[in-house]
DNA sequence: TTCATTCTGAGAATAAATCTCATTCTCAAT
DNA sequence: ATTGAGAATGAGATTTATTCTCAGAATGAA
């Protein structure tokens, strides 16, 4: 339990927006797990906790969390957008198994350094890394 | 004009499928440009050439081209799946401008080597690399 | 309280992608 | 050349994630 709440509140204030109850609930749900998540996942999780937030509000809140630098759009599985929180969670790349859907997270400063170098060569200002590979995981190879 | 036709035909034969006229037209359209493309892009391009292929057939043919190793799913822009051909086109990574949508393609054996190393450590068998970054391009920084 | 603004939920609307199905094509066997 | 079985196609219906609309509720400063 970091201080995502504080970060979010600060961001909302800076935009003249309010940290309401639904927004708190959604923020909490997004940080309740270290797994990637989608809108329906959040919705179900929130409903299990007797809370009540509409899907519309979740869809409206996610861009705010992204803008605040708390979460990022991650992968797209089963035709749905997926997200993951980034605040308090080191950058990493993804190895995604095409068979079972397993996601392996790996840290790699090296790839970042290389990308930074290439970006500099093109005068490109990187905001978000997006590194990964698809293939077959250990178990599924048998 | 490589021999994508031959590759596609071989693949289709191996699956008991046929290289029909619509499939030829779609294949050609996919290789007519080195830009990334989406279904509507192909559809418009084909219609401009007086040809006629339904969207349904394009949607049905794309997975075949992917399976044949001729194209790959690339980016997702404006809520649409995008693709790019890979046959006869060296692997590369993408620097995508969030402002103007410009896509800079850069080669980098280094990142591949690193990813291969990381994959080996996890007994992961890589099929497709997916490397890039989002940010602001040279021009849009002013 | 008042008042202006922001938020919210419910449901309608949008649109990419998939599916259905009747018809047409393909091609190997006769 | 004819036939027949399976494959392919186009048109339109369907699905479904996401966005939009709008009427009412909450917020908070004055
Ligand atoms: Mn992750
Ligand atoms: Mn490319
Ligand atoms: Zn697996
Ligand atoms: Zn740009």
Q: Which residue of chain A is at minimal alpha-carbon distance from B94?
A: A130
Domain edges within chain B: 4-85, 93-141
> Within window 91-110 on B, which residues have Cβ closer than 7 Å to strand D?
none
pLDDT score recorded for residue A123: 97
Angle separating helix axes A21-31 and A39-48, nearest 10 degrees: 110
pLDDT confidence band for B75 (50 / 70 / 90) = confident
**Per-residue pLDDT at A1:** 57
Other Cβ atoms less than 10 A from the Cβ of B76: the count is 13
User: Which chain B residue shows the shortest CA-CA distance from A107?
Assistant: B118
Taking any CB pair shorter than 8 Å as contact, residues of chain A touching chain B are 76, 93, 95, 97-98, 104, 106, 108, 110-111, 114-115, 118-119, 122-138, 141
User: CATH number of the domain at A4-85, please?
Assistant: 1.10.10.10
pLDDT at B69: 95
**Average model confidence (pLDDT) across chain B:** 94
Q: Judge if B4-85 and B93-141 fold alike in CATH terms.
A: no
Task: Using an 8 Å CB-CB cutoff, list chain A residues near B141.
Answer: 123, 125
Which two tokens mark A33? Answer: 């797990």
pLDDT reported for residue B100 = 84
CATH topology of domain A93-141: Dna Ligase; domain 1 (3.30.1490)
Share above pLDDT 90 across residues of chain A, in percent, rounded to a whole number: 92
Is the minimum distance from the CB of A78 to strand C below 7 Å? no
| Per-residue confidence band for B1, with pLDDT thresholds at 50, 70 and 90 | low
């Amino acid at each position: 339990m970091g201080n995502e709440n504080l970060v979010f509140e600060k961001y909302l204030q800076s935009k003249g927006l309010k940290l309401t109850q639904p927004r708190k609930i959604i923020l909490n749900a997004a940080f309740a797990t270290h797994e990637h998540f989608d809108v329906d996942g959040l919705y179900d999780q929130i409903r299990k906790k007797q809370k009540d937030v509409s899907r519309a509000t979740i869809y409206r809140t996610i861009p705010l969390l992204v803008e605040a630098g708390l979460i990022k759009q991650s992968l797209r599985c089963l035709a749905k957008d997926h997200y993951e929180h980034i605040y308090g969670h080191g950058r990493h790349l993804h190895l995604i198994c095409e068979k079972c859907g397993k996601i392996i997270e790996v840290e790699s400063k090296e790839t970042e350094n290389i990308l930074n170098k290439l970006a500099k060569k093109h005068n490109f200002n990187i905001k978000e890394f997006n590194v990964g590979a698809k293939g077959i995981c250990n178990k599924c190879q048998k």
